[in-house]
A = this chain, B = another copy of it.
Amino acid sequence: MVSPLFTDLYQLTMMCAYLENGKREKAAFELFVRELPEKRNYLIFAGLEEVLRTLEEFRFTSEDIDFLFSLKMFPDWFLDYLKEFSFSGDVYAMDEGTPFFQYEPVLRIEAPIAEAQLLETFVMNQIHISSLIASKAARVYSVAEGKVLADFSLRRTHGVDAGLKVARSCYLAGFDATSNVLAGKVYGIPVVGTVAHSFIMSFESEEEAFRAYAKVFPGNTVLLVDTYDTVEGVKKAIEVGKELLEKGFKLKGIRLDSGNVKELAKIARKLLDEAGMSYVKIIVSGGLDEYKVKEILSSGAPVDGFGVGTKVGTSSDAPYIDFVYKLVEFNGKPVMKTSSGKKMYPGRKQVFRFEGYDVVSLNDEQFSGKPLLKSFMRDGKVVKSLPTLAQVREYAIEQIHSLPKEVLSIEERVSYQVNISDKLNRLYEELRRELLGGSKG
């Protein structure tokens, strides 16, 4: 469980200043993006469960307090306050797995302003990494034609937490498995694996290496065939496959990790089929992303599954999303910030989904579309039973399929239509005039 010290210093100094100035009014902060990354037509909301579980237990330890004391920056009364701190507010959010777009709040925190302020960094950080990767992984899923997808990115995710969140977010967005054993333990995601080049190289011959592995995992062997010469490797895998068959086992698959995999997969399939091994799956890995997966499948290469790594695990073509967490209401009054040319809409909002377009409205408006923001936490306690990860995955897959076809394009930039309700637009104009008029000047 992460410490509330996982925050920017200014959140703590602002907390202190709010309280010292008697500001205990309720604030509402909304998390949204103004613009999607250039290579994303839609984003997938993820990371909520971790946020909710953590907020329920968000406490400063006495070590944390000692550290803050050592900074010689905070008054004693504030450190005493932090000692007793727990989050007492409300959280509204979209369901994990929901596609979202520009200007749509995905999450809202309502709490005394000091509390809502403290949470900013942690909430943003966690929703960011999970949504970032779910959004990238969904693109791979959307072009994979139902082939098996496994997350192989752990060695190059940005650290330990990212490793876990990447595995979960990929699975949530339609992947089938991960190589990450810890993610298997923590989230119950199916774990898969093959062998590495080093294993093959540590034996006198490739065939000996294949045999040595198959002996130990006869019912679960996927052989890496490209350490020396790939076609020769396939032939040796077939030999070992025959030996397995004699013992009553079936070779599960072969893996291609380099070279012209489109051609090699065709050759391998032919050799395997000729040997009566149509049951042996062909797995491809190595520098894959949605573009390469699509290219490989479009070529007609008979690939059964993909091990997808670094480019998805770091969302390398869009390594961050510009989430912002903005104060939209304070003490019951809608607020917004004007300068800097960065637009935002004031007030607590709701998002309604219609077929092919959304409406962002004020929270008290009613539309016939499906409302996306729901109450998940009240007074610091989770008030909605959370779906299992398998349920989130099922929902996310259904949601991806229900997006307009053109939005699913991985090449074309397509803007999904997000309408702002008349009432929200009027409030925005009103506040803008007021601010430009200088009442806050």
Chain A residues with CB under 8 Å of chain B are 2-3, 5-14, 16-18, 20-21, 23, 25, 27, 29, 63-64, 67-68, 71, 73, 75, 113, 117, 120-121, 124-126, 128-129, 132, 152, 154-165, 179-182, 184-185, 191-199, 201-202, 204-206, 212-213, 215-217, 220, 226-230, 232, 257-259, 310-311, 314-316, 319-323, 325-327, 330, 335-342, 435, 440-441
Contact = CB atoms under 8 A, between A and B. Distances in A.
A326 B158 contact: no
A370 to B, nearest CB: 30
Of the listed residues A23, A126, A202, A217, the one surrounded by the most CB atoms of chain B closer than 10 A to its CB is: A202
A129 B5 CA distance: 21
B339 A10 contact: no
Contacts of A215: 17, 20-21
A75 B215 CA distance: 12
Contacts of A325: 155
Q: Count the copies.
A: 2
Contacts of A182: 2-3, 5-7
A257 to B, nearest CB: 7
A117 B73 contact: no
Contacts of A159: 125-126, 129, 158-162, 164-165
23 contacts: A8-B193, A9-B184, A13-B195, A13-B213, A21-B212, A27-B198, A67-B181, A67-B184, A68-B181, A113-B202, A124-B155, A126-B160, A128-B156, A132-B158, A158-B165, A159-B161, A159-B164, A197-B327, A201-B327, A202-B327, A227-B339, A258-B340, A314-B319
A337 B226 CA distance: 10
A282 to B, nearest CB: 17
B198 A327 contact: yes
A226 B340 contact: yes
A258 B339 contact: yes
A195 B120 contact: no
A202 to B, nearest CB: 5
A205 B315 CA distance: 41
A107 B319 CA distance: 27
A9 B192 contact: yes
A342 B220 CA distance: 29
A356 B73 CA distance: 46
B125 A154 contact: yes
A193 B341 contact: no
B155 A185 contact: no
Contacts of A25: 202
A358 to B, nearest CB: 25
Given A227-B337, A227-B339, A228-B338, A155 B125 contact: yes
Contacts of A179: 8-10
